[in-house]
C-alpha cells in the first residue's frame, strides 16, 4: 500500500511545484476547540535545494486533465504518468505530516477531470473532512477551479483560509495562443464572486462576532513570466488590476521553467528568468507598500523594467526633477521614494527627526544605503552632492561602486531592496 502512495505523492508533488505560492500567513484561525493546529505568521519548516520555503503540503489531487495548456506539465497531450489521490489519502497525508510538525497545512490544486464542478467538489470535500472530522485548524489553501458553481465556491470559502485562481498568462492574446480552450472570463468569474462574498462576510463578522470565518487569508494568483512575448508593462498592469478590482492579497510571478518542446514556447534548456522575476517582485512591492502608481514604473516609452537596477532607482533616475528630497522636512511618502531608503528606515527617519536634525551619520545608523541615497537627498550637513549630475552619470557611479557587489548578490539571493 505504501508504495502506491509513494508513487502518487511523487507524481503529484512534481506536478504541483510550479505553483510558487507557499504562504501560510495571514489567517486568523485559532485552535479554540482543542483540536489540531493553529495558524499565525506562518512557519517555513524547511527549504528545498532551490532555496524556496516549504510551509505547506503542496500537491495536485490528480494530474489527469481535459485541457491542453501548452505551458503546463499536466497538459493532456503530454506523455506522462497519470494518477489521482482519493479524498481520504490527501486527508491522511495532511494530518500525519502536520502532527509530525513537517508542515503548516495543505495547498491543494488539481488538473481538471470531467468538468469544473466535479473537480471543485472533491477539493472542497478534502477541506471539509479536515475541518469537520479532524478538527483541523491548520492552514488550507484551495485552488478555485474556473467555471465551478457559486455554491461550491461558497463552501470552499467556509473551509479554506485562502483561495486562488492562477491567471498564468498575463495577456489575452497569450492565453489564446497557449491555451485556446480557456477563457479569461471563466478565471475572473470565481475571483469576482469570492471578492464580493469576502466583503459580505466581513461586514457580517462586524455585526456578529460568531459569524464563521470565510477565506480569512483572502485570494491570490500567479502569472508565468517569460512563456510568451509579454512585456513587463503587460504583467504589471494585469497585476495592478487584480489588486485593484479583486482585492487580491498577493500576485506571484513565476519564471517559466521549460516543460515542453512546443514551438510556441521557449525551448527545453532555456534558463529560468530569475532576475526578471525578482525585478517584478520589487515593482509589485512598490505598488503595494510604497505608494507608486503602476504607470510610473512601466509605460509605453518604457514597457520593460531595467534589469541592471532596481525599479525604484530606475524611477528616480527618470524623475530627477523630484529630487533632492530634504530628509528633515519632506513628507513620508516622498522619503519612501528615495533609492536606498526602505520602509523601516523611512519610518525611523520621520520619528528621529522630531528630536534632532539628521545628518549623514544619523542616516547611516538608521539603515539608509548612502551609496545610492546620497545622490537624491540633502540633510543637516554642508556636504552634499553639489555636482549637477545627469541620470546617466549617477547610474554609472552607483553601478560601478560598491553597488556592483550587492547587485550580483541580489541576483543569487533574490532579495527585495
Instruction: Enter the C-alpha cell of residue 402.
Output: 560598491
Q: Does residue number 267 form part of the binding site for another protein (CB under 8 A)? A: no
The residue among 389, 234, 403, 221 whose CA lies nearest residue 304 is 234
N-terminal to C-terminal alpha carbon distance within the chain: 49
Residue 147 vs 340, nearer CB to ligand SF4 = 147
Among ligand SF4, another protein, none, partner that 13 touches (CB below 5 to 8 angstroms by kind): another protein
Other Cβ atoms closer than 10 A to 297: 23
Interface with another protein includes 68 (CB under 8 A)? Answer: no
Neighbours of 245 (CB within 10 A): 12
Pairing state between β 325-326 and 250-255: unpaired
69 touching ligand SF4, by CB under 6 A: yes
Residue with Cβ nearer ligand SF4 (18 or 243): 18
- Nearest to ligand SF4 of 27, 221 (CB atom): 221
Q: Alpha-carbon distance 136 to 281, whole Å?
A: 33
Write the interaction track for another protein spanning residues 231-260; mark x where CB under 8 A is met and - where it is not: ------------------------x-xx--
The tally of CA atoms less than 13 A away on the side-chain side of residue 89 is 17
- Binding another protein (rule: CB under 8 A), the pick from 158, 213, 272, 391 is 272
Q: Which is nearer to another protein, 161 or 234 (CB)?
A: 161
CA dihedral 178, 13, 163, 253 (to 10 degrees): -50
Q: Quick check: 64 binds ligand SF4 (CB under 6 A)?
A: no
The reply to whether 74 sits near ligand SF4 by the rule CB under 6 A is: yes
Shortest Å, Cβ 337 to ligand SF4 = 38
Q: Per CB under 8 A, which of residues 83..112 are in contact with another protein?
A: 93, 96-97, 99-102
Closest distance to another protein from the beta carbon of 44 (Å): 6
- Our finding on whether 72 is near another protein (CB under 8 A) is no
Task: Tell me how far, at minimum, the Cβ of 244 lies from ligand SF4, in Å.
Answer: 25
Among 9, 17, 25, 67, binds ligand SF4 (CB under 6 A): 67
C-alpha 366/C-alpha 347 separation (Å) is 10
Binding partner at 272 among ligand SF4, another protein, none, C-beta below 5 to 8 Å by kind: another protein
Q: Applying CB under 8 A, which part among 51-59, 180-188, 193-201, 287-295 lies near another protein?
A: 51-59
Q: Quick check: 48 and 54 in contact, CB under 8 A?
A: yes
Region of 96 please: left (phi>0), alpha (psi -120 to 50) or beta: alpha
- Contact residue for another protein among 4, 28, 48, 267 (CB under 8 A): 48
Q: How far is CA 320 from CA 337, 358, 403, in A?
A: 12, 23, 20
Contact assessment for residue 38 and residue 142, using Cβ atoms and an 8 Å cutoff: no
Cell numbers that stand for 199 in this block? 466583503
Residue 265 touches ligand SF4, criterion: CB under 6 A: no
Residue 5 binding result from another protein, ligand SF4, none, given CB thresholds of 5 to 8 Å by partner type: another protein
Q: How far, in Å, CA of 139 to CA of 30, rounded? A: 10
- Return the number of the residue (137 or 171) whose C-beta is nearest ligand SF4: 171
Restricted to residues 158-217, the positions that interact with ligand SF4 (CB under 6 A) are none
Kindly tell me which residue out of 111, 174, 216, 218 binds ligand SF4, with binding defined by CB under 6 A: 111
Which of 8, 29, 58, 75 contacts ligand SF4 by CB under 6 A? 75
Closer residue to another protein in complex, CB, 141/233: 141
The DSSP secondary structure of 320-358, one letter per residue, reads GGG--EETTTS-HHHHTTSTT--HHHHHHHHHHTTTS--
Q: Which parts of 135-154 interact with another protein (CB under 8 A)?
A: 135
Q: How many CB atoms lie within 10 A of CB 395?
A: 18
Can you give the binding site for ligand SF4, defined by CB under 6 A? 65, 67, 69, 72, 74-75, 111-112
Amino acid at each position: 500500500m505504501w508504495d502506491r502512495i509513494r508513487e502518487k505523492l511523487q507524481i503529484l508533488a512534481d506536478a504541483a511545484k510550479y505553483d510558487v505560492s507557499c504562504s501560510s500567513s495571514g489567517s486568523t484561525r485559532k485552535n479554540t476547540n482543542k483540536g489540531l493546529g493553529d495558524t499565525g505568521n506562518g512557519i517555513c519548516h524547511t527549504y528545498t535545494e532551490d532555496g524556496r520555503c516549504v510551509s505547506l503540503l503542496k500537491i495536485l489531487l490528480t494530474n489527469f486533465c481535459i485541457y491542453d495548456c501548452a505551458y503546463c506539465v499536466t497538459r493532456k497531450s503530454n506523455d506522462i504518468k497519470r494518477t489521482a489521490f482519493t479524498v481520504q489519502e490527501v486527508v491522511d497525508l495532511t494530518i500525519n505530516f502536520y502532527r509530525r510538525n513537517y508542515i503548516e497545512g495543505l495547498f491543494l490544486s488539481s488538473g481538471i477531470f470531467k468538468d469544473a464542478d466535479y473537480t471543485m467538489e472533491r477539493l472542497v470535500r478534502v477541506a471539509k473532512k479536515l475541518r469537520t472530522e479532524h478538527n483541523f485548524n491548520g492552514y488550507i489553501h484551495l485552488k478555485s477551479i474556473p467555471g465551478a458553481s457559486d455554491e461550491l465556491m461558497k463552501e470552499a470559502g467556509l473551509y479554506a483560509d485562502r483561495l486562488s485562481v492562477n491567471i498564468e498568462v498575463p495577456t489575452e492574446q497569450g492565453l489564446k495562443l497557449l491555451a485556446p480552450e480557456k477563457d479569461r472570463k471563466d478565471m475572473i468569474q470565481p475571483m469576482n464572486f469570492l471578492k464580493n462574498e469576502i466583503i459580505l462576510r466581513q461586514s457580517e463578522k462586524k455585526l456578529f462576532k460568531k459569524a464563521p470565518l470565510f477565506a480569512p487569508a483572502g485570494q491570490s494568483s500567479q502569472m508565468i513570466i517569460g512563456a510568451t512575448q509579454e512585456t513587463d508593462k503587460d504583467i504589471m498592469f494585469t497585476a495592478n488590476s487584480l489588486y485593484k478590482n479583486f482585492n487580491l492579497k498577493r500576485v506571484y510571478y513565476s519564471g517559466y521553467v521549460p516543460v515542453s518542446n512546443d514551438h510556441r514556447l521557449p525551448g527545453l534548456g532555456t534558463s529560468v528568468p530569475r532576475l526578471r522575476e525578482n525585478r517584478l517582485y520589487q515593482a509589485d512591492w512598490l505598488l503595494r507598500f510604497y505608494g507608486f502608481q503602476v504607470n510610473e514604473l512601466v509605460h509605453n516609452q518604457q514597457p520593460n523594467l531595467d534589469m541592471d537596477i532596481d525599479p525604484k532607482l530606475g524611477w528616480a533616475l527618470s524623475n530627477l526633477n523630484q529630487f533632492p528630497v530634504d530628509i528633515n522636512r519632506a513628507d513620508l511618502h516622498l522619503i519612501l521614494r528615495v533609492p536606498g531608503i526602505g520602509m523601516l528606515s523611512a519610518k525611523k527617519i520621520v520619528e528621529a527627526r522630531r528630536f534632532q536634525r539628521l545628518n549623514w551619520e544619523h542616516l547611516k545608523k538608521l539603515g539608509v544605503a548612502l551609496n545610492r541615497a546620497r545622490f537624491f537627498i540633502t540633510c543637516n550637513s554642508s556636504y552634499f552632492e553639489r555636482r549637477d549630475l545627469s541620470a546617466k552619470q549617477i547610474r554609472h557611479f552607483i553601478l560601478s561602486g560598491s553597488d556592483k557587489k550587492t547587485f550580483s548578490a541580489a541576483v543569487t539571493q533574490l532579495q527585495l531592496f
